[in-house]
Amino acid sequence: MGNLSKAEKKKIPRYDDQTQIEMGLVQFDLAKCNGCSLCVKACPADAIKLQDKKAKLNDHPECMACGDCVAICSEKAVTLVKSYRYSGRYKTIDQGGLELPRL
């Protein structure tokens, strides 16, 4: 059968349905966030905005779990919570959990 079923290979998921295209997710520790907005500028998906001088995810964030926001934050206020999970013909396969670089 392989990694995708025939049905899955045929199905083009709806890109605005979080049950079919699950985007990644980051979390902001608002106590640590100093509103510098570097993460807003670093995000390749334009998924972060500044609201009341604190970082916040947009309404339909297209987060691809790249971690650039986590890395650029000088206050260590950002955490990567989960990676993306696509379905249908773009079904995410062979992916394990989130890990920092391991020795």
Partner 1 sequence: MVDQEQKLSETKIEQLKSVRTETEDVILKRRSVRVFQKKQVPEFLIKRMLEAGRFAPSAGNSMPWKFVVLRDQEIIDGITQTIIETCKIYKGLIDYRYNGSILRRIIANIIIKSKPNDLHPVPFGAISLIADEKLGLFHNAPTVILIFADERGIGFPTLDCGIAGQNMVLAAHSMGLGTCWIGFPKVAFENTSIWRNRLGIDYPYKFVSSLAVGFPMGKPDGMVARPTHAVDWYEDGMKKTLY
Binding site for partner 1 (CB under 8 A): 12-16, 21, 36, 38, 41-46, 60, 62, 64-68, 70-72, 74, 80, 83, 86, 89-90, 93-101, 103
Q: Which is nearer to partner 1, 50 or 66 (CB)?
A: 66
- What lies within 8 Å, CB to CB, of 8 at 6+ separation is 87, 88, 89, 91
The torsion of the CA quartet 72, 77, 82, 88, rounded to 10 degrees, works out to -50
Q: Cβ 22 to partner 1, closest distance in Å?
A: 10
Q: Which is nearer to partner 1, 35 or 44 (CB)?
A: 44
26 within 8 A of 63, measured Cβ to Cβ: yes
Q: Which is nearer to partner 1, 31 or 74 (CB)?
A: 74
